[in-house]
A and B are shown apart, each in its own frame.
Chain A
Amino acid sequence: MPFQMTELAFLEQLAHRFSLPVPEYLTASATRMKIRDALQRWRGKGVVKADVMSGGRGKAKVVTVVEDVQQAMAQLRRLANAEVGGMHARTSYITQFIPADLQVYSAVTYDSRFCGPSLTVSMKGGVDIESVEERHKQTIPVDVFKGLDAYQASQLFEGLACPKPLISILSRTLVSFWDMFISTGMRMCEVNPWRVGPDNAPYACDFKAVFDEANYKLKEADLEFPEYPESATEFEEDMAAWDASSYRGQAHVSELGGDLVLPILFGGGAGTIIAETLEAAGGRPIFLSDFGGNPPYERMVGTAERCFRYHLAGASALLILGGKANNTLIDVTFQAIGDALARHFEERGRVEIPVVIGRGGPRMVPGFLAMRETLESLRLPYVIFGHDTPVTLVAEYAARLAKFVKTRKEARRAT
């Protein structure tokens, strides 16, 4: 998953660094006494929230207003284990309740229409921005070199009929907001809402950001990204670490929850199409993968070994499929996959599974022969297609074959 950040990490690491006004907060580890004192300071009202990597409507269920310490403690305990849309909370925290007459939405992101950064603002914050009518929100491009200036922001607020006394402070706040965006290598950040109270001061009351791993500023920002318990399966975590261990060749996987076809796929584009075709044809792919980018032998061996270790035993067909490669050397990748398969059999025992292969590209002929030799020596059934057979047809065939094998397996087990 890309580097992301939600409100608690923002409160802990970013808000003060960029002088962004935020409510006071305490984490779930705070003592009862500290919470009681804080509630007194906050005029008896706090907001308990789950720290969960999820946004949108479902998140409202894990935000609750509390008015005394008993309620606060109970809600902190409850929400520390909350779940939203399959995502589990990491912890919970309590923030000062900000009474507000006005809620403002703001986001900075890179926008395909301008091919650069843009700022979106609405005076109808606190709700899903997609549900806000177009006339109530405005998006403007921001010069990536010069950045956002307060005048530009004030023009935007004027256009949205922002109360005049607020324009100056909101504009200055958005300039700091932009500074945070551009200084830390973000791809997108959103505050929804800024709650503006009777004192005309805005407070950032929810936050999310996505960072650009390719941006050197992210490394220099020295941020800590909390780990969320449900964000990846063990296989995904293992593969993510393996992927990050080298820049040569990709090792991306995302589990899809299927149980039939184990797909070793090459190329992001082809991989997506193949996974869709498998799914549509009932092939229930176990995961989505992209192992392209011309991986060297050791890289491909390691990738294949991990796939086999986690999923070969439960699969009903092994599919090795990609389009006609431009750079990826077929003999290197196929020899590596074959060797990993042979090693898996030696170390973990044989698996009876048909292998369906489709590929084209540099050094395909020795690659196919190496793979065929391995499959012959392992005595596995196989079908190998060249690049003249469309990948989607191969995927459909693999799906049908896997379904047959699974049915046969189940029938045998029943007898």
Chain B
Amino acid sequence: MAQQASAGRRYLRAFVSGFFVAVPVTVTVLDRFAYVARVEGASMQPFLNPEGGSECDVVLLNRWSVRNYQVQRGDIVSVMSPRNPQQKIIKRVIGLEGDFIRTLGYKNRYVRIPDGHFWIEGDHHGHSLDSNSFGPVSVGLLHGRASHIIWPPSRWQQIKPSLPPNRGPLDTEEEEG
């Protein structure tokens, strides 16, 4: 009887110590290094969620590479939504600070992006709530950079930065475009 009680106590102690290791380590890894997220909605079609409907892609978000808030044009990033702080949105970076951007349906036709901001857009124009509706987004809201598609397995791939055609920043001389 006494043996059973001591064994129970040993199991409890092992469980508690394992718990105190596993939970902080998991939280830290998710916060600092990598995060796995399911993509919902049609705003990034055709690159993510090409079928639509109930099929959801799962992407790996690299949080270590954005610790200094450095992104390139064409990267797919996840950002805290400026409209709803509980929600994260996944979009493509179109312009960085200082760029001139031709907008699609924003209140100004051309926009110079202010310091510490970037311009993000979904690939599926017209079905995406992005910088064309709320303007440039502060870099401080950056959450992670999507680096791999990990589900479905048939589309397992690394995500390379790529800008959609005709969506780069404008040079000052070809502003007529």
Do A and B share a complex? no
Binding site for A on B (CB under 8 A): none
